[in-house]
Structure 1
Amino acid sequence: MSNPENRFSPYIGAADDLPQLTFKALVLGFLLAAIMAGANAYLGLKVGMTVSASIPAAVISMALLKFFKESNILENNIVQTAASAGESLAAGVIFTLPALILLNYWNDFPFIDTMSIAMFGGILGVLFTIPLRRALIIETDLKFPEGVATGEVLKAGTEGGKGVKMIAIAALAAGLYKLSQTGFKVFSSVLGGAKKVGDSIFGYGTDLSVALLAVGYIVGLNIAVLVFAGGLISWLFGIPIYMALADPAEVAAIIGNSAGYDAALEIWSQKIRYMGVGSMVVGGIWALISLAKPLVDGIKSSMDAIKKKNTGAGNEVLRTEKDIPINYVMYGVIALSIPIFMVFVSVIDTQHLPVSSGLYWTTMVFGTVFSLVAGFLFSSVAGYMAGLVGSSNNPISGVTIATILATSLLLLAILGSQLNFQMDTDRATAAAAAAIIVGAMVACAAAIAGDNMQDLKAGQLVGATPYKQQIMQIIGVIAAALVIAPILGLLFNAYGLGGVFPREGMDPTEMLAAPQATLMQSVAEGVFARDLEWNMIIIGCLIAVGIIIFDKILEARESEFRAPVLAVAVGIYLPLELTVPIFVGGMVAWLATRNTMRRAEREGKDPEAAATKTERNGLLFSSGLITGEALVGIILAIPFAYFESTSVLNLVPDTFGPYANWLGAMAAVGFVIWLYRVAIKR
């Protein structure tokens, strides 16, 4: 049994009862959840990907808790549980709700509506995963990589100060680099060009973001290669082939006055990225099929828990096995259906959707019920995928696209008898907005579900009490929901989102692409306008089927390299320049691990232990890079929004552009080398 007097004991036994839900843990968890939500909102809107905040939150909270006389490892675990909930909720929100801006349905992010959608969806995610904890964590061999890593960081608590120092240095450097790029304009943010061959254009380029470099390091070479491969499918094959085969007049209409890389970007934006939609839909369906057994196991575990409670056997459950009672879960879901229904009525009112009273209320009830049903199914998918590939690689966008496509088709069937959406674009927009809200509820639930399972795995490793973590997850959701609307409004007014700008004269190169939200908007709008790029979607579906077959072959051969289809789909609908630094980051992780293990073998040391140290070094440094760039991006949004210009801090003339390209490229290479050297450091 562990010693309760050891503040950072590597394991707390079931008989030990150390403080967890303390006042300082609640306050610190609330604040970190809000901060992590803001940082990941920026990152997700910029590149369409977020990364798990559990490990940096664990390191930061451990360092802060050491300033208090009384603290322990379980208290620290509670803090990181809430903080990581903020990051995950931000992912669900920024992947969906900006689509309402892109639809011109919202002209900003209203606080009450945005907060309510985020909060209710996130709490659903916590509730839905409670009956799945035993099925996915106890009764399967899922790895939960980030949960295990977080548990190891918690157990190595005495290293917390060194970890915080590493994160702080990386964050400071990344923040200054971002300030020099976006604020001072001394360094370029992106390099790109194009080569014309016949009638086709081959676009190439790279973003100089160190946050993307860090994302690549965290996800590793396998996923980084697949994301980059998806980019090549779009840019090396998709765009040139389309331009060679399509009607020249159609191509000219799409390109307009654009040339070079911008022309390739227009082709990708209006045509090729829909292959990513098809790949995402097939990938989401495949994930559901793969999860049939865990879903059944989860339901059985829930029913067994009810039987044990009714017979009194539940009183003998160990502290480390106590969840929020399943009857509370059911009551909670039923209770949440009422405010969720009210959100639908508030956002999609009769003025925007003027149909008969019966049809209107039928639509509102459908949206509520479908949110609950799809939320449970896809929360289960997200929990399973988190165990398989981790939270950072969890394909929340894939299941959200599948949700929005299914919702849009069903709403088209429900409302199509009274409305001609091709003739009435305002009503089509309202119907598309309803589909987006369903998708937002499901995305928030699924994002929190995946994060919840990771945190519960970390808690299992250190001896935490599950129901206390689940309570803290809800607190983290509330904290993030309270800050997400003003942060999104600030970023929108400072940079613009997905081609929509709040005012004229804004710099399009500084715009936040919001790739997932743009895709959600295109899918929902395309279904009701009946001009969705079905040919491209079908091609994407076929590509996904081919990748699934390829992955099954790899599985049969017991290959270490695997090909999850949703990782490739991410690359297909991301601009090429965003996939390049992710690939470079994955290469750095692979090289650092390989060279460290070889050095350990030559010195007669344990290669696996050396690789673990390298992974942790690089992970902490990468977390700092992401945090620094994201936080500076949010801070810069304040003067940009106030002065209504992204050039307010510009220190160089327009003619400095070529020098900024060289300086930006050299600085980016410097960060690559620095990351590698930190990772292999003994």
Structure 2
Amino acid sequence: MNKPATRQLTFRAVLLAVILAMILAAANAYLGLFAGLTIATAIPAAVVSMGVLRLLGGGTILENNIVQTGASAGSSIAAGVIFTIPALIILGYWDDFRYSWVLAIAGLGGLLGVLFSVPLRRTMIVEDPLPFPEGKAAAEVLKAGDNPGPGLKILALSGVIGAVVKLAAASGLRMIPDSAIGSGFIGKYLGYMGTGLSPALLGVGYIVGLNVGIVVVSGSILSFNIAIPIYHAFFMGTDPALAASVAGAGAEEIAGAIWSAKIRYLGVGTMLIGGVWTLFSLRKSLVSGIKSGFAAARKGAGKVVAETERDLPMKWMLIALVAFVVPLGLLYHAIVGQWMVSVPMTIIMIVAGFLFVSVSAYLAGLVGSSNNPVSGITIATILFASVVLVLLLGRDSPIGAVAAIMIGAVVCCAAAVGGDNLQDLKAGYIVGATPWKQQLMLAIGAFSCALIMAPVLNLLAHAYGIGAPTPEHPNSLAAPQATLMASVANGMFGGELPWTMIAIGAAIGAAIIAFDEWLKARSSSFRVPVLAAAIGIYLPLELMVPIFLGGLLSYFVERRKGLKAGDEDMRDRIHRPGTLFSAGLITGEALMGIAIAIPIVVSERADVLALPEQFQFGQVVGLAVLVVVGWLLYRSGTRSKVLGDAEPGPM
């Protein structure tokens, strides 16, 4: 193991990490509310760090590792927040995002995630190591950092492309539309097809790959090309209110109304059964993770360890745990006003937090942080908390659903950060970093991101809307996970939900799980993850089509470069140029989306940036732009060399 260099947790590394963490948190917040997905940010952050520190005279590999560690908190805190806290807006409990409450939930939840994950490092990384694919990939990028120029150029170019296309789209200059949709009737059949014109969604598809792309688009096809036509043809007459609301409307408007009122709840049911199944299927991993934590704590007691094996001291961790839990208990008491309820809420949060950080860390080690089903973990937390709160408050409690969401929000932030923490510690272990310095940096990064989440969410909510479309915000940010959390919590406390649709969705989810288990038994390389299918069922078809197209591009890149089946390490290296290009598209579009929101909110006009009609073009031009961006992504993906293409070093 390498001896740590003198320069590691330096002021410039901490400052750069905090800045990158805030930027990437804002970008992932937009992406998550828009498409229900976030992306891991460690590799783009590492590339930026190497470039910036090189301009400042050069940085050590451990300084760059500290930067990527802190910056990667941006994706985990953003996921924890946008998967849960917008549910308080959707439930009508908040009119806007309250700064102090969001800071407390996200900041303290993130810090708890760091603390809970510390005891897991020795077992999961050192003694019984798990793969941690993204951690290994980040370490390879760090070790090949003598020439970060090509990677920075890719990020900068694609970031500009993503930003320019977003500025030209419907929320900005309105030169091109956000989507290209065709709809109509073939006899009684309601036909609907289309694609979003977002470069970011192409990038998401490239990163998640063809398998996930096929699954999510299939879910949307199930909703829009099967379920909606069936409902329109055979069940519209049973819902006079819905039929009256679309009288005289065109096929696109009718499809949208049926999806919003009925069909999207199929996705709720699928996600619900998927979350429960995820926990059931991980029951052995859960026990293993908990045992690992306690075993590591016992083995490390009283030992003098090397710098490269030194974690945060257990004594200080326990002190910090108490210091963080007390304000959360007070926050819960401020919601319910009863100590007999707020104390059990706090206990549930502590127990669920530790259990699910262990699960999250284990899953991150097996399949990576990007595929970590944190939303499934959170659903289970909210269900369990709701059952306890129903017993304490009654099913008619006006604040029961809110209390359950508050518990789930803290656990979600902790689980997201915990899985990310172990991924970063794996990279640090490979390059010879000091664990406690990384753990401290991740805590700083997580809390820094929490500082900006409320303003970013308020800006997006006021400019675009969050949740179901409204006359004021017809193209609102869907926030699928938060809507699901709100639906589950509200349904447990007497809310009105289309339970028939949710039950059918649960049955669909069970069928998907059975099919996936059959594929698993056959050792198939193609799998059908139920939560990915649920996202596809829940979100509009036009969001899923470009994700599928991006996955198709990644497949063509693999074919062009001759990738052999089962060679996962080579897959990461082959896709590194395309991954960087995709990360740039996503970040550029997301940051421009936030920038566009500022004049919209200030002027209170959604069309404040719109050009005159003679400069506004139709769907054909928008499709042409998407084709050009896809071609550039493919060309980038087929590059022969880029940052990190040196021969891999010893693990």
1:364 corresponds to: 342
How many residues align? The count is 636
SS in 2 for 1:307: helix
SS in 2 for 1:165: helix
1:455 corresponds to: 424
Residues 204 and 403 from structure 1, CA distance in 2 versus in 1: closer, same or farther, beyond 3 angstroms? farther
Task: State the one-letter code of the partner of 1:299.
Answer: I
CA contact (8 A) 1:281 1:398 kept: yes
SS in 1 for 2:195: strand
Which of 612, 620, 623 is the aligned partner of 1:662?
620
Query: How do 1:344-355 residues align onto structure 2 when only pairs under 5 Å count?
Result: 344-346=332-334, 348=335, 350=337
Residues 396 and 263 from structure 1, CA distance in 2 versus in 1: closer, same or farther, beyond 3 angstroms? farther
2:35 matches 1:47? yes
1:98 corresponds to: 86
Give the superposition deviation at 1:389.
2.9
Give the superposition deviation at 1:580.
0.6
SS in 2 for 1:262: helix
Residues 254 and 34 from structure 1, CA distance in 2 versus in 1: closer, same or farther, beyond 3 angstroms? farther
Give the superposition deviation at 1:154.
0.9
Which of 377, 388, 405 is the aligned partner of 1:410?
388
Which of 321, 325, 335 is the aligned partner of 1:337?
325
Which of 202, 205, 221 is the aligned partner of 1:213?
202
State how far apart, in whole Å, the 2-side matches of 1:276 and 1:284 are.
Answer: 12
Task: State the one-letter code of the partner of 1:485.
Answer: A
1:155 corresponds to: 143
Structure 1: runs of 5 or more not aligned: 1-12, 351-359, 422-426, 602-606
Residues 528 and 193 from structure 1, CA distance in 2 versus in 1: closer, same or farther, beyond 3 angstroms? farther
CA contact (8 A) 1:515 1:573 kept: yes
2:463 matches 1:494? yes
2:644 corresponds to: none
Query: How do 1:256-405 residues align onto structure 2 when only pairs under 5 Å count?
Result: 256-257=245-246, 259-310=250-301, 312=302, 314-315=303-304, 317-346=305-334, 348=335, 350=337, 360-405=338-383
State how far apart, in whole Å, the 2-side matches of 1:377 and 1:104 are.
Answer: 30
CA contact (8 A) 2:356 2:415 kept: yes
Give the superposition deviation at 1:244.
4.0
Task: Report Cα offsets for 1:463-493 as digits up to 9, x if no partner.
Answer: 2222211111100011001111111111222
SS in 2 for 1:518: helix
Task: Report Cα offsets for 1:350-384 as digits up to 9, x if no partner.
Answer: 5xxxxxxxxx3222223222222222222222222
Which of 488, 492, 510 is the aligned partner of 1:523?
488
Give the superposition deviation at 1:609.
8.9
Give the superposition deviation at 1:342.
1.6
State how far apart, in whole Å, the 1-side matches of 2:56 and 2:491 are.
Answer: 56
CA contact (8 A) 1:102 1:500 kept: no
State how far apart, in whole Å, the 2-side matches of 1:413 and 1:193 are.
Answer: 50
CA contact (8 A) 2:236 2:242 kept: no
Give the superposition deviation at 1:561.
1.7
SS in 1 for 2:193: strand
SS in 1 for 2:292: helix
Task: Report Cα offsets for 1:522-556 as digits up to 9, x if no partner.
Answer: 22223223433333333333323322332232223
State how far apart, in whole Å, the 1-side matches of 2:368 and 2:528 are.
Answer: 15
Which of 184, 188, 192 is the aligned partner of 1:203?
192
Task: State the one-letter code of the partner of 1:94.
Answer: I
2:646 matches 1:677? no
State how far apart, in whole Å, the 2-side matches of 1:197 and 1:142 are.
Answer: 53
State how far apart, in whole Å, the 1-side matches of 2:207 and 2:380 are.
Answer: 26
Task: Report Cα offsets for 1:628-675 as digits up to 9, x if no partner.
Answer: 10111111111111101121111132x876x32111111011111111
Task: State the one-letter code of the partner of 1:615.
Answer: H
Residues 185 and 507 from structure 1, CA distance in 2 versus in 1: closer, same or farther, beyond 3 angstroms? farther
Give the superposition deviation at 1:434.
1.4
Task: State the one-letter code of the partner of 2:504.
Answer: I
State how far apart, in whole Å, the 1-side matches of 2:70 and 2:504 are.
Answer: 41
2:188 matches 1:172? no
CA contact (8 A) 1:193 1:260 kept: no
User: RMSD of aligned C-alpha atoms?
Assistant: 2.5
Task: Report Cα offsets for 1:375-431 as digits up to 9, x if no partner.
Answer: 222222222232333222322222222322333343233222xx7x3xxxxx53x32
Residues 535 and 507 from structure 1, CA distance in 2 versus in 1: closer, same or farther, beyond 3 angstroms? closer
CA contact (8 A) 2:77 2:446 kept: yes
SS in 2 for 1:18: coil
Residues 287 and 131 from structure 1, CA distance in 2 versus in 1: closer, same or farther, beyond 3 angstroms? farther
Residues 184 and 463 from structure 1, CA distance in 2 versus in 1: closer, same or farther, beyond 3 angstroms? same
Give the superposition deviation at 1:576.
1.3
2:198 matches 1:233? no
2:435 matches 1:436? no
2:105 corresponds to: 117
Task: Report Cα offsets for 1:29-77 as digits up to 9, x if no partner.
Answer: 1111111111111111111111111111110011111123352111111
State how far apart, in whole Å, the 2-side matches of 1:542 and 1:237 are.
Answer: 16
CA contact (8 A) 1:506 1:646 kept: no
1:541 corresponds to: 506
1:574 corresponds to: 539
Structure 2: runs of 5 or more not aligned: 641-651
CA contact (8 A) 1:183 1:647 kept: yes
Identity of matched residues, %: 49
SS in 2 for 1:324: coil
2:517 matches 1:552? yes
Task: Report Cα offsets for 1:95-144 as digits up to 9, x if no partner.
Answer: 21112112221111111111111101111111222222233334556432
CA contact (8 A) 2:84 2:485 kept: yes
State how far apart, in whole Å, the 2-side matches of 1:109 and 1:609 are.
Answer: 42
CA contact (8 A) 1:279 1:544 kept: yes
State how far apart, in whole Å, the 2-side matches of 1:287 and 1:138 are.
Answer: 26
SS in 2 for 1:66: helix
SS in 2 for 1:365: helix
2:176 matches 1:187? yes
Give the superposition deviation at 1:195.
3.5
State how far apart, in whole Å, the 2-side matches of 1:525 and 1:34 are.
Answer: 32
Give the superposition deviation at 1:280.
2.3
Task: State the one-letter code of the partner of 2:604.
Answer: E
SS in 2 for 1:194: strand
Residues 565 and 326 from structure 1, CA distance in 2 versus in 1: closer, same or farther, beyond 3 angstroms? farther
CA contact (8 A) 2:203 2:547 kept: yes
2:120 matches 1:132? yes
Task: State the one-letter code of the partner of 1:453.
Answer: L
- Of 134-143 and 516-525, more deviation after overlay is shown by 134-143
Residues 197 and 128 from structure 1, CA distance in 2 versus in 1: closer, same or farther, beyond 3 angstroms? farther
Which of 550, 554, 566 is the aligned partner of 1:589?
554
Output the TM-score relative to the length of structure 2: 0.92
1:88 corresponds to: 76
2:436 corresponds to: 467
Which of 595, 609, 618 is the aligned partner of 1:635?
595
Residues 16 and 498 from structure 1, CA distance in 2 versus in 1: closer, same or farther, beyond 3 angstroms? closer
SS in 1 for 2:239: helix
2:45 corresponds to: 57
Task: State the one-letter code of the partner of 1:220.
Answer: G
Residues 584 and 363 from structure 1, CA distance in 2 versus in 1: closer, same or farther, beyond 3 angstroms? same
State how far apart, in whole Å, the 2-side matches of 1:23 and 1:69 are.
Answer: 14
CA contact (8 A) 1:243 1:251 kept: no
Residues 195 and 453 from structure 1, CA distance in 2 versus in 1: closer, same or farther, beyond 3 angstroms? farther
Give the superposition deviation at 1:514.
1.9
